[in-house]
Amino acid sequence: YERDLSRIDRRHDQELYVKLAEAELRAEFEAEVRELTISQGKVLIKLIDRETGQTSYDLVKQLRGGFQAFIWQGVARLFGNDLKDDYDPDVEDRMIEVIVQRIERGELAVKPRGPRTAKAQAKLE
């Protein structure tokens, strides 16, 4: 999505693209994300920062605006999370980093997750 978004010049077209991308992502992942426990949500927030180099708060602010970022930060705080949490692979998030590295090296098996929507399947082909 990020590569496609960077190719769109007009602000209005970018906003439309973000809304369409959000709809695709919701269709693909919303049910699973809603089922996460609070601690799993915290790990997801950390992994998003690890993979993107940006906090979840910064991503929401960049893609949806400051007001939406403020609202979602408030929701996260109600559930004991913080969208502004940084990933710290050396200290605070060392165990997460060890697990991710073991998965990446093939030392830990992860149950494959196939695409849930036709759009996601098409992107893989």
Beta strands in the chain (DSSP E): none
- Residue 99 in this model has a pLDDT that exceeds 90: yes
Locate the domains of the chain by residue range.
1-35, 37-110
- The confidence score (pLDDT) of residue 26 equals 93
Lowest-confidence range among 18-22, 40-44, 107-111? 18-22
- The confidence score (pLDDT) of residue 5 equals 86
Give CA–CA dist 73/58, Å, rounded. Answer: 10
Which residues have a Cβ under 8 Å from the Cβ of 61 and sit 6 or more positions away?
68, 69
pLDDT average, residue stretch 33-37: 94
Q: Which two tokens stand for residue 111?
A: 């149950």
**Residue 14 CB: number of other CB atoms within 10 A?**
16
pTM over 0.95? The answer is no
- The confidence score (pLDDT) of residue 71 equals 98
